[in-house]
Amino acid sequence: MNDVFKFIKADKFFPIYCPDIRSYNHKMRGKNGRGNPVTFTLEEERAIKKGIREMLKELTAKQQ
């Protein structure tokens, strides 16, 4: 999942396409500020994939 965010800025993506996901920076890093492990849930991963598809649709529509 983190491979996608090497090309897309997470700070721009999450507020627009996945506004319900909180603490995405901690989850991408794998731990919160206290050092406890944190990961994306299955629902959040599905929402991210859906958001990526929506973003790609918007980008292809702008190019045509």
The model's confidence at residue 23, banded by pLDDT at 50, 70 and 90, is: very high
At residue 3 the predicted structure's pLDDT band, cuts being 50, 70 and 90, is: confident
For residue 57, how many other CB atoms are within 10 A of its CB?
A: 10
Identify the pLDDT of residue 64: 72
Residue-range domain boundaries for the chain: 4-63
CA distance 32 to 63: 39
Q: Which two three-digit tokens encode residue 43?
A: 């629902």
Give the single-character DSSP code of 31.
B
pTM: 0.87
Query: Helices 10-17 and 42-63 meet at what angle, rounded to 10?
Result: 100
Mean pLDDT score of the chain, rounded to an integer? 92
What is the rounded CA–CA span in Å between residue 62 and residue 15?
20
How far apart are alpha carbons 60 and 62 in whole angstroms? Answer: 5
